[in-house]
């Protein structure tokens, strides 16, 4: 699965605008990969219910844009998991995605 864009050929100053449903699906696939690789990932994680609950595109007051995915059932301190998910998303074509973990 490669990253989908909102409209083919559309690019904003801040970079790509990804299709959020596709980004969420990719994050869930990354969660499935993490579950299989859990022995390599430190931190408090409820592996039985790990999933992406939301993907969003945001813009701050200065016009800087970002994409975020919210991963549920992991400690906010689960830096290994956040890095793992971000790396897998990058391999799928989703660059510079902020990964937020929460219970």
The CATH number assigned to the domain holding 60 equals 3.30.70
Query: Three-class SS of residue 17?
Result: coil
pLDDT for residue 15: 65
Average pLDDT score over residue span 56-79? 96
- Pick from 33, 91, 26: which is nearest to 55 by CA? 26
pTM of the predicted structure, to 2 decimals? 0.85
Cα distances (Å, whole numbers) of residue 99 to 10, 13, 64? 24, 22, 17
- Inside any domain, residue 96: yes
- Inside any domain, residue 45: yes
- Inside any domain, residue 11: no
User: Per-residue pLDDT tens for 6-56?
Assistant: 433 334 444 689 999 999 999 999 999 999 999 999 999 999 999 999 999
- Pick from 74, 69, 73, 46: which is nearest to 57 by CA? 69
- Inside any domain, residue 3: no
- The percentage of residues in the chain with a pLDDT greater than 90, rounded to a whole number, is 83
Tally of domains within the chain: 1
- Inside any domain, residue 35: yes
Is residue 88 pLDDT above 90, yes or no? Answer: yes
| Structural domain span for residue 85 | 20-102
Cβ neighbours of 17 (radius 10 Å): 15
Q: Are the CB atoms for 54 and 44 separated by under 8 Å? A: no
CA–CA separation, 37 and 94 (whole Å): 20
């Amino acid at each position: 699965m490669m990253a989908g864009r909102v409209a083919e050929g559309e690019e904003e100053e801040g970079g790509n605008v990804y299709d959020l449903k596709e980004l969420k699906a990719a994050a869930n696939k990354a969660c499935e990969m993490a579950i299989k690789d859990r022995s390599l990932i430190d931190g408090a994680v409820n592996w039985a219910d790990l999933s992406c609950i939301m993907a969003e595109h945001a813009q701050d007051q200065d016009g800087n844009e970002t994409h975020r995915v919210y991963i549920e059932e992991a400690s906010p301190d689960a830096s290994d998991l956040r890095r793992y998910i971000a790396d897998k998303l990058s391999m799928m074509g989703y660059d510079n995605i902020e990964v937020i973990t929460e219970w």
